[in-house]
Structures are given as structure tokens and as C-alpha cells.
């Protein structure tokens, strides 16, 4: 199987458009913050600080849902640049499948995780009031047993999202530092 070397960088490879790049990095930062906050806040004892963090977590989750929807709409309306032929040819079939599969799962989980959180919050009887100003409709009627059933789905989907994001980052860094094929630069801001 052919391999890419630093002698064959793909500086002329088609890049993602600026809105896709901005949405990608905004989602990355927001998801990292949300995962860290979620992990931290669940370990706190019941307190005003914990309640405040839960509210911030819900607000950020709704922002991620909105960004995720924008990202999906952008993706549906604007075909991403294809993998450069050199890179595609160097990848085994399972890597090409994983490349596309992980991307689609990341899109799906960027929507599913906040929706599950919203559903959990609604069923638990805790309304989502975005930024403390805009009350959002409940997705479900108050139902404590249903809330307890949804809660592990939200956490499991969030951890799955984190694991897939880690795989995505590892693959991007492998392309950048090991293969040196220029693939990562297609999604970096400020590069020509």
C-alpha cells in the first residue's frame, strides 16, 4: 500500500469552506467544555454551585444542538471536499469506511446527546431556560421513571461521542505527524 511522505504534501488539496471550518472548531471547543463540565458537575454534592453548573451545561447543550443542526444543514447543502486521490489510494478500505462512519456518527451524536439531555431534563421536571431568559418547551411530560431511564442514555451517548471524537483527533494527528499528507490543514483556519 502506498504511503504519503513529507516529500508529497498536498498543499493544493481542496479545503473545507470557512463556515464548515468555523462550525467544526466551535463544536469541538463546546463539546470539550461540555464533557468536562458534565464529568465535573456530576461529582459535586448537591449545592448552588452544582445547580448553576447544571444550568450552564443545559444552555451549552442547547447551543451545541443549534451548532450541530447548522453543521448538518451546511453539510447537506455543501458537499465537502473529497479525500485527495493520493490519500484515498493509500488508505485501506476499512479506513475509508471508518473515516466516513466516524464523521456521520459524530454528526448524529452532536444532535442526539443534547436531545437526550433535554428529554431527561423535561421528564425529570427541570425546564430548560436558555441563558436563564428563554424557556424552551418540554420535550416530554414529567415522568420520573422515564427520566431515570433516559439519564444513562444521555451519559452513554456523551461518552460515545467523546470516544469517537478521540478517534477522530487521533486519525487527524496521525495524518498530520506520521503520514505528513496535509489532510489536517484542510480544516485548519487561516491556511491558504
pTM of the shown model: 0.86
pLDDT at 12: 54
Here the cell at position 18 is 470557512
**What average pLDDT does the structure give for the chain?**
89
pLDDT digits (tens, 9 = 90+) for 36-82: 999 899 899 999 999 999 999 999 999 999 999 999 999 999 998 88
- Scored b (16 or more CB within 10 A) or e, 138-159 reads bbeeeeeebbeebbeebbebbe
Domain spanning 18-187, CATH class? mainly alpha
Residue 123: which of 101, 104, 140, 109 has the closest Cα? 140
pLDDT band at 90; cut points 50, 70, 90: confident
pLDDT at 3: 45
pLDDT digits (tens, 9 = 90+) for 20-40: 999 999 999 999 999 999 989
pLDDT at 105: 96
CA 109 to chain centre: 7
Q: Are 51 and 121 in contact (CB under 8 A)?
A: no
Cα dihedral across residues 86, 87, 92, 97: positive or negative: negative
CA 126 to chain centre: 25
Sequence spans of domains, the chain: 18-187
Higher pLDDT, 10 or 150: 150
pLDDT band at 191; cut points 50, 70, 90: low
pLDDT digits (tens, 9 = 90+) for 96-140: 899 889 999 999 999 999 999 999 999 999 999 988 899 999 999
Amino acid at each position: 500500500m502506498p504511503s504519503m511522505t513529507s516529500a508529497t504534501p498536498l498543499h493544493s488539496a481542496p479545503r473545507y469552506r470557512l463556515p464548515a471550518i468555523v462550525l467544526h472548531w466551535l463544536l469541538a471547543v463546546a463539546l470539550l467544555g461540555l464533557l468536562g463540565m458534565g464529568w465535573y458537575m456530576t461529582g459535586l454534592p448537591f449545592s448552588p454551585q452544582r445547580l448553576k453548573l447544571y444550568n450552564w451545561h443545559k444552555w451549552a447543550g442547547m447551543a451545541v444542538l443549534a451548532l450541530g443542526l447548522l453543521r448538518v444543514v451546511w453539510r447537506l447543502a455543501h458537499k465537502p471536499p473529497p479525500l485527495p486521490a493520493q490519500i484515498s489510494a493509500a488508505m485501506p478500505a476499512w479506513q475509508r469506511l471508518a473515516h466516513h462512519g466516524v464523521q456521520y456518527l459524530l454528526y448524529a451524536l452532536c444532535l442526539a446527546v443534547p436531545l437526550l439531555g433535554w428529554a431527561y431534563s423535561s421528564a425529570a421536571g427541570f425546564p430548560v431556560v436558555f441563558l436563564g431568559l428563554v424557556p424552551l418547551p418540554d420535550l416530554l411530560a414529567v415522568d420520573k421513571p422515564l427520566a431515570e431511564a433516559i439519564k444513562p442514555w444521555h451519559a452513554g451517548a456523551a461518552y460515545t461521542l467523546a470516544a469517537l471524537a478521540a478517534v477522530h483527533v487521533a486519525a487527524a494527528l496521525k495524518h498530520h505527524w506520521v503520514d505528513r499528507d496535509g489532510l489536517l490543514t484542510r480544516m485548519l483556519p487561516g491556511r491558504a
